[in-house]
Amino acid sequence: MRTNAMKYLPNFFPKAALEKLFFCFPDPHFKRKNHPRRIVSERLLSEYAFLLQPEVGRLYCITDVKDLHDWHVEKCDAHPLFERLTEEEMEADPCVTLMKTETEEGKKVKREGRFGHDMYYQVYTRVDETLAANKEKVGLGSVTAANFFGEGEFGVEVQ
């Protein structure tokens, strides 16, 4: 399904309805002023976590832009509801191979095969809220229910 995830994704699925989410070669939005438009951000990761099944759900990110890959890793590593898969776990996942070889952009990158045109990918699993709470207690992760929405957004008021 292709849609504007920033606006509509939580309206399509109930909580914990998905096992996998793929972000294959998203627009990198190079200009700093456009970084809030990137498909991976703290707020959107919380929405993705809502949709993914705990302990089963996986978030797949692949790009051919190293800076965007670093952005994805930074944001996902910081989020308390996602945990990075090991290299061995990723290599054992057939979806990783498929997103590198069967997507339009993946085929293009492989076909062009010129120096410096690589694919960067990472996979995260959706962790259970109990584990995330422990992670939050030791200072890992930055998104909580208290800071998810800003003042004035979605009817949130500071008391």
Active site residues: 27
Helices (H), the chain: 9-12, 42-51, 66-78, 87-92, 94-101, 104-112, 129-137
Nearest to 59 by CA among 132, 50, 67: 50
CB distance 92 to 86 below 8 Å: no
Q: CA 135, CA 76: separation in Å to the nearest integer? A: 14
| Distance separating the N- and C-terminal Cα atoms of the chain | 39
The SS3 of residue 54 is coil
Nearest to 71 by CA among 132, 27, 6, 133: 27
Sign (positive or negative) of CA dihedral 21, 27, 31, 34 = negative
